[in-house]
Amino acid sequence: MLNRRHFLRQAACLGAAGVAGLSSAPLLAQPQSGMTDQAERTLRVYNIHTGEYLTTTFWADGQYQDEEIQALDLLLRDHRANQAMAMQRELYEKMFHLQELFSSREPLYVISGYRSPGTNSGLRQVSNGVAENSLHMQGRAVDIRIPGVSHRHLHKAALAMRSGGVGYYPKSGYIHLDTGRVRSWTI
């Protein structure tokens, strides 16, 4: 379980800016602290709906690994419609950053990745937390949690990236990340 002291120590490792005061430049535009463009980026991901687990190095030798990205896209598919879409790679960068920040040995739990328009419409009928023009339908959003990491801490770290939208769903136990404009909300 990640405690506050460990979280703050991890935040301090990001450099002088720390998690709370990062510059307005998108954090993902540059290699992460201590990383070079050549460093490998590996994600451990678990889809809570399908039970699928994947450990994959999606960035190696200074470039994205297409087969690995496709495997991630498949894992983040709309499980209701069994449809996949090429997700924006920036999402994988954000997920990787959060995984590294919290030094999590647990996989990131994916609650929702791509959503077909039909699935999104159906979810809107049963929940007021689903946007009509959700970025999930464009492969630009993912809902995640990290076992053993406080949802509040995960939310604050995602906000500190100052990149895209960040939604906080404390009652449901996850956060939303997207590649849209910078904004935040809590439901």
DSSP secondary structure, 45-101, as one string: EEETTT--EEEEEEEETTEE-HHHHHHHHHHTSBTTTTB-----HHHHHHHHHHHHH
Per-residue pLDDT at 36: 54
120 vs 51: which has the higher pLDDT: 51
Per-residue pLDDT at 21: 31
Instruction: State what percent of residues in the chain have pLDDT above 90.
Output: 70
Domain 4-8+37-186 matching CATH 3.30.1380.10: the answer reads: yes
User: How many angstroms separate the CA atoms of 68 and 28, rounded?
Assistant: 19
- Per-residue pLDDT, averaged over 44-49, amounts to 98
Per-residue pLDDT at 132: 79
Q: Mean pLDDT across the chain, nearest whole number?
A: 83
pTM here is 0.79
Look at residue 186 and tell me whether its pLDDT is greater than 90: yes
